[in-house]
């Protein structure tokens, strides 16, 4: 596979006007380059979202197993230049999932003429909250190997930048403040946005309970894909009793107590703490217990109080997708 030629994001005047915290994700988010004449059709049969939406920019999606459970959450970017006529895309994922996703794709890459390879020469950055002035009329999209795109999940996650690993992208963004991965994670957890294998355990998490619909990560009109049957059936019944929600804790949990059960004050099971950082995290809760006093019991130690909330980006009652 040809190595992509890196071009400067400075060719896009509005890039320099992005503001917010610019957080490096290079050690935690990896990239695969997927290229070949059958790439769109190949991915269409494996991911939850419609590949046609890539014409509008980046898309968020899950890869499911045969039982309809989430294996991996990914962000896909279409590279704008296809000089040789070959569809060319980038797949962003949790760094821990990079190898497993590559193997997963190869299992189904039978006579598809699709090349899949890691891109260690590229790295991912997040700009929080991220604001972009309107493009001048007629300006072309960014170059195929330096991506600057709104985060396709929810607006509160700002912008995604893919650039070369050499150099510091913050040098190109004079209006942005240097951020950290910890700041990025706290922002995600505060706003209830799951990401990666800790928040979405492979083969355990269900896509609709993980708010895949709310995060623009699924199409119910695209046709068949791996794991579609259970997901479509659950969606059409309209019965989703549990969801991932942001929680704040009265004190940080010890590491060994992650994945702890959450209960009501009377001891009734309400859900399970999934992952977090400090006193912020995500929990899979039964919706009937939102607004109820909750806690995590820690044996002989004082229980940790849990305050669950509804993200502001969720659809309002009556407007649920």
Q: Is the domain of 44 the same as that of 164? A: yes
Do 51 and 130 reside in the same domain of the chain?
Answer: yes
Say if residue 185 is in the same domain as residue 66.
Answer: yes
pLDDT for 140 beyond 50: no
Model confidence pLDDT, tens digit, residues 251-274:
998 877 778 999 999 999 999 999
pLDDT of residue 15: 55
Angle 186-292-195 from CA coordinates, rounded to 5°:
30
Asked whether residue 136 carries a pLDDT value surpassing 50, the answer given is no
| CATH code for position 273 | 2.40.30
The token duo for 158 is: 């700002």
Q: Is the pLDDT confidence value at 7 over 80?
A: no
Q: Do 186 and 52 fall within a single domain?
A: yes
Of 134, 168, 199, the residue that ends a domain is 199
> Which of 143, 175, 199 is the endpoint of a domain?
199
Q: Does residue 304 belong to any structural domain of this protein? A: yes
1 within a domain of the structure (yes/no): no
Contact indicator for 85, 129 with CB cutoff of 8 Å: no
Question: How many residues make up the chain in this entry?
Answer: 321
Provide the 3-class DSSP secondary structure of residue 13. Answer: helix
Asked whether residue 236 is assigned to any structural domain, the reply reads no
The CATH number of the domain holding residue 187 is 3.30.1360.120
8 pLDDT band (50/70/90 cuts)?
A: very low
- If you average pLDDT over every residue of the chain, what do you get? 85
| Whether residue 280 sits in one domain with residue 171 | no
From residue 80, alpha-carbon distances to 86, 100, 148, 153 in Å are: 11, 27, 12, 20
Distance (Å, whole) CA 281 – CA 287: 17
Q: Which of 167, 199, 231 marks a domain boundary?
A: 199
Q: Is the model's pLDDT at 138 over the cut of 60?
A: no
Which two tokens mark 86? 């070959």
Same-domain pairing of 129 and 47: yes
Model pLDDT, residue 257: 73
Whether the Cβ atoms of residue 77 and residue 58 lie closer than 8 Å to each other: yes
How many distinct structural domains can be found in the chain? 2
- Distance of alpha carbon 31 from alpha carbon 234, whole angstroms: 31
Q: What percent of the chain has pLDDT over 90?
A: 61
Give 223's pLDDT tier (boundaries 50, 70, 90): confident
Residue 100: the pLDDT is: 97
Domain hosting residue 124, numbered range:
9-199
Residues 295 and 181 in one domain: no
pLDDT (tens digit, 9 = 90+) per residue, 280-321?
999 999 999 998 999 999 888 899 999 999 999 999 875 656
Q: pLDDT per residue over 95-129, tens digit each?
A: 999 999 999 999 998 877 899 999 998 999 898 98
Is 70 within the bounds of a domain?
yes
Residue 319 counted as domain residue: no
**Residue ranges of E strands in 42-85:** 59-64, 70-78
Tens of pLDDT, residues 82-98:
556 678 899 999 999 99
């Amino acid at each position: 596979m040809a190595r992509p030629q890196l071009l400067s994001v400075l060719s896009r005047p509005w890039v320099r006007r992005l503001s917010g915290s610019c957080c490096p994700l290079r050690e935690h988010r990896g990239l695969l380059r997927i290229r070949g004449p059958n790439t769109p059709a190949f991915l269409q049969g494996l991911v939850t979202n419609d590949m046609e939406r890539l014409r509008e920019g980046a898309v968020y999606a899950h890869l499911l197993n045969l039982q309809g459970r989430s294996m991996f959450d990914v962000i896909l970017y279409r590279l704008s230049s296809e000089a040789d006529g070959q569809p060319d895309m980038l797949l962003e994922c949790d760094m821990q999932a990079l190898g497993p996703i590559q193997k997963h794709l190869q299992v189904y890459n039978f006579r598809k003429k699709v090349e899949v390879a890691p891109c260690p020469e590229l790295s991912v950055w997040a700009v929080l909250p991220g604001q972009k002035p309107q493009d001048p009329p007629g300006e072309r999209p960014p170059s195929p190997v330096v991506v600057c795109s709104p985060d396709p999940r929810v607006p509160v996650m700002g912008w995604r930048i893919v650039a070369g690993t050499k150099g510091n992208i913050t040098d190109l963004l004079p209006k942005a403040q240097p951020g950290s991965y910890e700041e990025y994670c706290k922002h995600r957890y505060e706003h209830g946005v799951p990401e990666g294998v800790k928040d979405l355990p492979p083969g355990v998490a269900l896509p609709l309970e993980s708010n895949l619909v709310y995060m623009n990560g699924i199409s119910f009109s695209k046709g068949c894909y791996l794991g579609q049957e259970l997901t479509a059936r659950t969606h059409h019944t309209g019965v989703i009793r549990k969801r991932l929600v942001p929680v704040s804790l009265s004190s940080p949990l010890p590491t060994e107590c992650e994945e702890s059960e959450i209960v009501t004050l009377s001891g009734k099971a309400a859900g399970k703490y999934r992952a977090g950082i400090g006193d912020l995290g995500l929990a899979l809760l039964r919706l009937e217990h939102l607004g109820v006093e909750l806690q995590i019991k820690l044996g002989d130690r004082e229980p940790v109080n849990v305050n669950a909330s509804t993200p502001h980006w969720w659809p309002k009652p009556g407007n649920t997708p």
